[in-house]
Amino acid sequence: MSADRGRAPRYALMWSGGKDSALALARARERGLEVGALLNFIDGVSGRVRFHATRAGLIAAQAMAAEVPLRQIATSWDAFDVAFRAELERLRDEGFTGVVFGDIHLADVRAWYEERVTAPGLGARGRSPAVGRPPFGRSPGACRRGTS
């Protein structure tokens, strides 16, 4: 429990709408983490997820089904870093402890995200419950969860 908030640590989860995001949410919940927000970035012009081109409305429907509030931030590629850092500072100011990521297979990409998460003081590191485990397609629990 956080002494100043009187409540369990709360995390945001990076949500692309893909299978790794769903698996990360399931694994975070299995570990007892309170996920208080899904963090999603969309292209400000197309209204689609920056990395998968999923429509913003589908992401909103996923968040509703997961029963986790969605923070959907519209930005451009050029402004992504600034928008991401600003949202991390808002999370910190609202008492969030850290950020959960799905499987980020590329070490340099994972390091980029973790560096930004720790800069505003969100925990000691970005939490990544899927890292180091089998990729989603080879995860036996994925099918049992209904997330494949």
CATH number at residue 130: 3.40.50.620
Instruction: State how many domains the chain has.
Output: 1
For residue 21, what are the domain limits?
Answer: 10-145
Domain-located, residue 38: yes
Domain-located, residue 32: yes
DSSP string across the chain: -BTTTTB--EEEEE--SSHHHHHHHHHHHHTT-EEEEEEEEEETTT-BBTTT--BHHHHHHHHHHHT--EEEEEE-TTTHHHHHHHHHHHHHHTT--EEE------HHHHHHHHHHHHTTT-SSS-B-TTTTS--GGG-HHHHHHT--
Top pLDDT among 123 and 55 is at 55
Which tens digits make up the pLDDT trace of 25-46?
998 999 899 999 999 999 999 9
pTM of the model: 0.80
